Amino acid sequence: MPSKIITNALKEKRTVLTEIESKQLMSEAGMPVIESGLAKTKAQAIAMSKKLGFPVVLKIVSPDIIHKSDSGGVKLGLSNSAQVGRAYSEIMAAAKQAAPGAKIHGVSVQKMASPGVEVIMGMSKDAQFGPVLMFGLGGVFVEVLKDVAFRIVPLVRRDASQMIREIKGYPLLEGYRGQEPANITVLEDLLLKLSDFIDKTPEIKELDLNPILAYSDGAVAVDARVILESQA
């Protein structure tokens, strides 16, 4: 039985989930996701920021705007109410300018995560093999270095372990030059959880968790993107 989030989106004839919906879906799948909420007004954004605790991040929430940072839809490290209020207005204005016809749900408010090693986990469907899971260095690294490993779903622990260790950036996860090492077992667990979820959820066409911040005692996804199969 698909999640309510998927059912509702398909009922609305949408294949692109918003960031909030994507994160809720990932949370249901047992993935650790940074807490975030949807603010539809400036006052809501300020109240939510105070509740979560500063510093916070604001991001545009729209099914029609996928590349949020390119359209001025992301503001990082906001440390008080005045900054949040100003950021809300700027994001809304930038979104309307970048995509005048876009349906805007509001702005997501999330706590600024402490720095860790940025990794990506994702899935796409291969015409021949079906769902393929991806792991690599995240953030801008994934676009620049394309340092990623792939495996066909479903994964077993050995697959997850090999995927992580075969990327060129693996030394960064071990604690390069005194950096805090990432917990590899936690990352393996997350890949297996994701594999299991994808195996049971054929409605998903594409998925990206980028970045996931990896720490010595855990990991947390700060952004999520899910695209569903179109129901022709």
Continuous H helices in the chain: 4-11, 19-28, 42-52, 81-98, 141-144, 157-166, 170-173, 184-200
CATH 1.20.1090.10 corresponds to the domain 35-111:
no
Average pLDDT over residues 46-65: 92
Q: Where are the domains of the chain?
A: 10-16+115-228, 35-111
Cis upstream peptide for 211 (omega within 30°)? yes
Please state which architecture CATH assigns to domain 10-16+115-228: 2-Layer Sandwich (3.30)
Q: Provide the pLDDT for residue 232.
A: 66
Q: Provide the pLDDT for residue 38.
A: 94
Average pLDDT over residues 33-46: 95
SS3 call for 154: coil
SS3 call for 38: strand
Average pLDDT over residues 53-62: 94
User: Positive or negative CA dihedral for 124, 129, 135, 136?
Assistant: negative
Residue 57 contacts residue 110 (beta carbons within 8 Å): yes
pTM score of the predicted model: 0.90
**Residue 143 scores a pLDDT above 90:** no
Could you tell me the two tokens for 216? 């010595």
Determine the Cα–Cα distance for residues 184 and 167; give it in Å rounded to an integer.
Answer: 13
**226, 231, 229, 214: which is closest to 17 by C-alpha?**
226
**Residue 111 scores a pLDDT above 80:** yes
Average pLDDT over residues 28-33: 96
